[in-house]
Chains A and B, each alone.
Chain A
């Protein structure tokens, strides 16, 4: 991406070796971002195919319903593991953790390289899984017995499992790297309570990864041996229980949604503070709100399984525990608003995306409170209402934070300033598109439309048509993003070292733009805050 040569004293390798063998956190971050964009094209294409199919009632062009199920599955996996996580964690995390804490590179640069190439291999395996032996049409939840060898014979599910294993291994290595770096390599004077919130978010995310991914890995291995080697962890006929899979999957799966959204919280916090030209409001409250979201996230998993037929006490517990999460989330929302309050805000594209993020997150958050209630969930479980909820609260919220982070930091990464008007246009197109896409799905879901169906009763036609148009508009937003990318890389407008002015106080703005190949070779010292 940033193949612009610089006349620095640094000795960077040239050609393909620079990338393939890279141990440089910036180059690896860039590769993660490119991979994420590439995966977004595949995952986005899957969404477009699905929305085009659902544009009208009846079968339009996907004549094999199994292929539709494969699209549903692939879309979920790709967006979660190969778009959101590589961009927010691998991309922005690798780029800006060392820059923001004032260290030359990550703790284990070679391991960092391994992490990236594992993800790249995983993406290839996953795409293969979509095309061999009819594909894996299990949904991203891979519930047995549908995912067992009896109902999904062939190699597709096995390839999917291997893909997730590689992606998981990559995440675990990445998490170890991030935690070690953040704990041990901060610049002198940067105590935990003085780290930027983005670093807090990445630290917590890494811990969630470290605790959640091994459980997925264990469960996937059990599923793999169930499928191929005659074990019976999840097969009733051998004394197993398919419900155990759901417990294990969601024990991973619920923290996973925070793995996707905590980095977003971090990015939004940085941007809101920068553009308001104010320090973040209630810094400690924000940091510990994220911490408590992460901790509570581990004890609420069964709210994904209310219709399983649990004992009523179990459902009561999970209802109450889930609702608790609304409190720290509320603290974050109001703290962002309070940070803006009294600020002197310039509404450039990163700030627009941050405002958009806060709005979308609130809309998705309140429907989350509704869904937390096991009683009401009987009406909503597995309907489009749930689809609308989780796309608001994590998919398009995460997307908005990725866009926000891109506009905020791309000057630092490439040394070029993006065209502001084009950025704003891209924001408005995307904002209108995603709301048109997902808001009507609340209505279809309330009226009873189930998820993951290729064809629906004619009564749902209206909302689905609007939703599909919204999808096309969002796709235009996506294409515009690549236009912005192209225009920026080919423009002559240089980005200054600190293009956002006095509000931008974190360390990455003290280095040149584009950030040189080696930064912070001399450890920056942080002046202690004067006592209040």
Chain B
């Protein structure tokens, strides 16, 4: 992929990275200083990538984007030419051409060649996304109507719920419809296996900056992996229609250094272990 599209993708990266950043610069005073991946006003491109997978998605997309814009411009150009040259005033006598074998072969073969050029990096990307090398820890994600539950099976197996902060409780500087009460905390530069399922209907756990979007299906466990390379806070939203509050089950991931993650684990274990018991108590009371 790199070979045949090096120049293209470099050019394009320059071109495509300029605008979001200039927008970001203008909006800088509005954004908090820490690295956060979230949609920006008037953003017209991807959110900045935070995993190798998303970086590759963007590279491959840019290659296709360039060619596709070319195709649209070609067709548009031809149409403009036709309007100018072949309107009834400019060309009162139509030709009788209905066949041109060379042309027909060309516009069959050239698209095939373009598709093959696309297919090679596409397959590389697909198989790269598929295989985790050596996952160091596991995160389990469970979709519920309408919140997410997270579980750390390798780190004490504690579990907690992550609910949206409702509009009326949003403080200035917080992002409406994206902030949650309990963020998922994950270590940076660590290969993480993600297991996903749901307890009621289908949901979809999606974080744009990670290039992750996996359906959580009740009665079935799904698996993927990620390796976040930048410390920061990342936002996503449920991406499968799941009922009334589908728009109100955000995902917020806080990626911290490995040391900070250990500290957080200690605190979280005691905090959420107890809350888990409380929940069972509540459930028991409810049943009575």
Q: Which A residues form the contact surface with B (CB < 8 A)?
A: 57-58, 65-66, 69, 72, 137-139, 143, 145-146, 150-151, 236-237, 241-243, 276-283, 285, 307-309, 312, 315-316, 319-320, 323-324, 326-327, 330-331, 333-335, 337-338, 340-347, 355, 358-359, 362-363, 366-367, 369-370, 373-376, 378-379, 381-383, 443, 446-463
A448 contacts across to B, CB distance below 8 A: 39, 47, 206, 208, 236-237
Do A341 and B86 have beta carbons less than 8 Å apart? yes
Residue from B75, B112, B211 within 8 A of A379 (CB atoms): B211
B175 contacts across to A, CB distance below 8 A: 457-459
Asked if B136 is at the interface (CB within 8 A of a chain A CB), the reply is no
| Contacts known (A146-B202, A323-B119, A343-B94); A379 close to B87, Cβ less than 8 A | no
**Complex A-B: 30 CB contacts under 8 Å:** A58-B167, A65-B244, A66-B243, A145-B201, A146-B202, A276-B86, A279-B98, A281-B98, A283-B98, A307-B204, A307-B213, A307-B215, A312-B126, A319-B119, A319-B122, A340-B82, A341-B95, A342-B86, A344-B86, A344-B88, A355-B79, A359-B76, A375-B60, A376-B57, A378-B129, A448-B237, A454-B247, A457-B177, A457-B235, A458-B176
Closest 4 CB pairs of A and B: A236-B219, A342-B95, A453-B247, A375-B125
Q: Which residue of A lies closest to B240 (CB)?
A: A382
Shortest beta-carbon distance from A74 to chain B in Å? 14
Instruction: Give B216-248 as 1s and 0s: 1 = Cβ < 8 Å from A's Cβ atoms.
Output: 011110111000000000011111111111111
A320 to B123, CA, bound (A): 9
Asked if B281 is at the interface (CB within 8 A of a chain A CB), the reply is no
Asked if B33 is at the interface (CB within 8 A of a chain A CB), the reply is no
Do A143 and B126 have beta carbons less than 8 Å apart? no
Do A285 and B245 have beta carbons less than 8 Å apart? no
Contacts A337-B75, A355-B83, A452-B241 given; 12 further ones with Cβ under 8 A? A65-B247, A143-B202, A145-B202, A236-B220, A308-B222, A340-B82, A343-B82, A345-B82, A358-B75, A379-B208, A443-B44, A448-B208
A447 contacts across to B, CB distance below 8 A: 39-40, 43-47, 208
A-B residue pair count with CB separations less than 8 angstroms: 285
Asked if B259 is at the interface (CB within 8 A of a chain A CB), the reply is no
Residue from A72, A309, A458 within 8 A of B214 (CB atoms): A309
A375 to B55, CA, bound (A): 12
Q: Which residue of A lies closest to B45 (CB)?
A: A446
Do B239 and A383 have beta carbons less than 8 Å apart? yes
B220 contacts across to A, CB distance below 8 A: 236, 241, 243, 309
Do A337 and B82 have beta carbons less than 8 Å apart? yes
Residue from A337, A342, A376, A383 within 8 A of B60 (CB atoms): A376
A340 to B88, CA, bound (A): 11
Residue from B39, B241, B247 within 8 A of A138 (CB atoms): B241
A374 contacts across to B, CB distance below 8 A: 122, 126
Q: How many of chain B's residues have a CB under 8 angstroms from any CB in A? A: 95
Q: Which residue of A lies closest to B127 (CB)?
A: A312
Q: Which residue of B lies closest to A377 (CB)?
A: B213
Residue from A309, A319, A320, A334 within 8 A of B222 (CB atoms): A309
Shortest beta-carbon distance from B259 to chain A in Å? 30
A237 contacts across to B, CB distance below 8 A: 219
B100 contacts across to A, CB distance below 8 A: 281, 338
A366 contacts across to B, CB distance below 8 A: 68-69, 71-72
| Contacts known (A344-B92, A450-B206); A278 close to B111, Cβ less than 8 A | no
Do A139 and B241 have beta carbons less than 8 Å apart? yes
Residue from B61, B79, B87 within 8 A of A359 (CB atoms): B79
Do B176 and A57 have beta carbons less than 8 Å apart? yes
A312 contacts across to B, CB distance below 8 A: 126-127, 130
Please indicate which of the listed interface residues B40, B95, B240 has the most CB atoms of chain A within 10 Å of its own CB.
B240
Residue from B43, B119, B217, B240 within 8 A of A320 (CB atoms): B119
B40 contacts across to A, CB distance below 8 A: 447, 459
A463 to B125, CA, bound (A): 30
Asked if B263 is at the interface (CB within 8 A of a chain A CB), the reply is no
Do A343 and B218 have beta carbons less than 8 Å apart? no
Do B39 and A457 have beta carbons less than 8 Å apart? yes
A381 contacts across to B, CB distance below 8 A: 204, 213, 239
A459 to B30, CA, bound (A): 11
Do A315 and B126 have beta carbons less than 8 Å apart? yes
A374 to B128, CA, bound (A): 12
Instruction: Give B238-265 as 1s and 0s: 1 = Cβ < 8 Å from A's Cβ atoms.
Output: 1111111111100000000000000000
Please indicate which of the listed interface residues B96, B130, B211, B212 has the most CB atoms of chain A within 10 Å of its own CB.
B130
Do A333 and B241 have beta carbons less than 8 Å apart? no
Do A337 and B79 have beta carbons less than 8 Å apart? yes
Do A449 and B39 have beta carbons less than 8 Å apart? yes
| Contacts known (A278-B98, A342-B91, A447-B39); A69 close to B61, Cβ less than 8 A | no
Please indicate which of the listed interface residues A241, A341, A375, A454 has the most CB atoms of chain B within 10 Å of its own CB.
A375
A463 contacts across to B, CB distance below 8 A: 42
Do B126 and A236 have beta carbons less than 8 Å apart? no
B247 contacts across to A, CB distance below 8 A: 65, 450, 453-456
A327 to B175, CA, bound (A): 44
